[in-house]
DNA sequence: ATCCTTACTTATTGATTGGTAAGTTTGTTG
DNA sequence: CAACAAACTTACCAATCAATAAGTAAGGAT
């Protein structure tokens, strides 16, 4: 049903989120699809092309998911919790956020991929800024200063919480998830005291 | 003066913090020292040995630096700021925290290195827990619940702040540092309102 | 029937990887 | 002076990497 390109991107995303973009080969990818590594080059001539397509699609998918959160969530608090829940989901699937992974690999990535990564984070921050502003005017959130700055803090915290749970995941998956959720709950308490 | 082993670890650490542990080769390392790649194997038979020595020494150095912070800082707030400042220093030197880098590479790392990474983070959290407890009893910090949980939040935030500034660093170094400091300042405001 | 495009495979390339074996230089010790 | 270990070098190795060239099977269009 789904095209080979799409299935390649699915497999590449899984590998990139688990091992990193530089840590999987065309062979790894080809084996998962049951084709030869040369076949990949037909769809993505260079690995940089694959990387660019990968993060571009990821950005679109995340944007879609956040729009869906906007549609279904009743409050700014729910929207923010929906955002955080998607990270927890990744952890459950043994997948690091692709943005986090590529951010750490930044130095070794092709320029075109690097700039896509930056755009991805910028998009997340824009969305978070809107949520935080909405939440503040609604009296749900309490913070001082620009919502942009608070959005940067939210993003930093959720990324950091995921990353610091990541090494724990391989040995104690349940504990890693619990840790992530404890940290985020604590953060939310500061933003929206009950 | 300094032994070759030590200089190897210095160079390896710089490479690992900039590019990642899997993204530098024995050749890269050898070239920086002006020796051949085979010469490295004399000091560190396998790359895993190098990795283990690398993070073990890093952990010792960080522990020493934190003891020095304890010695010189006047208050818990100063100690915490000293901790955060060391991350900002890394950013200035174009170096990601080694723990953060290795955390993201966890899946592809030898087991022995993985467990060292976990111990490193555990040590940081222990130190942070003490600082937070001291600060709370001194009336400097305000938070509810266990200090361990708050320490996990602090660590997550500072790691995440560094990581999210990292992709920005290659294109706008000054802005990356400013972003990091804004995020951490905002975090400190929540912990120790003035 | 022929041509062309799509979607691959087979086979191979040159570069790079971590790692090894064997030799060489240098300084120390008996 | 002889023996020896420390600290390398030279010269490899097999494996793996992304990438390329050339061929091929299948299907649609003319």
Q: Report CB contact under 8 Å: B20, A168.
A: no
List pLDDT tens digits, range B146-189.
Answer: 999 999 999 999 999 999 999 999 899 999 999 999 999 999 99
Distance from CA of B1 to the nearest CA of A (A): 32
Any long-range contacts for B113-117 (C-beta under 8 Å, 24+ apart)?
B113/B21, B113/B48, B113/B51, B113/B52, B113/B55, B114/A167, B114/A170, B114/A171, B116/B52, B116/B55, B116/B56, B116/B59, B117/A167, B117/B55
Looking at domain B48-191, what is its CATH homologous superfamily? Tetracycline Repressor, domain 2 (1.10.357.10)
pLDDT at B96: 98
Which nt is closest to the CA of B43, judged by C1'? D7
Give percent of chain B with pLDDT exceeding 70. 99
Mean pLDDT over residues B22-32, rounded?
96
How many Å does it take to go from CA B69 to C1' C18?
40
Identify, with chain letter, the residue nearest to nucleotide D11 (CA–C1').
Answer: B38
Residue A1 pLDDT? 66
Percentage with pLDDT > 90 across chain B:
95
More confident residue, A118 or B170: A118
Nearest residue on chain A to B171, judged by CA atoms? A115
Chain B residues touching A183 at Cβ < 8 A: 149, 152-153, 156
Structural domain A56-191, CATH architecture? Orthogonal Bundle (1.10)
Contact B164 A145 (CB under 8 A): no
Interface contact flag, A153 B105, Cβ < 8 Å: no
Overall average pLDDT of the B14-28 stretch: 97
pLDDT confidence of residue B170: 87
Inform me whether the pLDDT recorded for B1 exceeds 70. Answer: no
């Amino acid at each position: 049903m789904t095209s080979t390109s799409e299935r390649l991107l699915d497999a590449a995303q899984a590998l990139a989120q688990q091992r990193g973009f530089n840590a999987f080969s065309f062979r790894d990818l080809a084996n998962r699809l049951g084709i030869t590594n040369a076949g990949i080059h037909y769809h993505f001539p260079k690995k940089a092309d694959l990387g660019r397509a990968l993060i571009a699609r990821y950005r679109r998918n995340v944007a879609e998911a956040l729009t869906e959160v906007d549609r279904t969530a009743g409050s700014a608090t729910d929207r923010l919790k929906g955002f955080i829940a998607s990270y927890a989901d990744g952890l459950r699937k043994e997948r690091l956020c692709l943005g986090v992974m590529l951010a750490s690999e930044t130095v070794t990535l092709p320029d075109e991929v690097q700039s896509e990564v930056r755009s991805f984070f910028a998009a997340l921050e824009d969305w978070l800024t809107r949520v935080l502003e909405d939440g503040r005017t609604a009296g749900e959130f309490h913070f001082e200063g620009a919502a942009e700055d608070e959005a940067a803090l939210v993003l930093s915290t959720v990324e950091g919480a995921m990353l610091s749970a990541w090494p724990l995941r391989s040995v104690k998956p349940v504990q890693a998830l619990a840790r992530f959720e404890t940290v985020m709950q604590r953060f939310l308490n500061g933003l929206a005291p009950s």
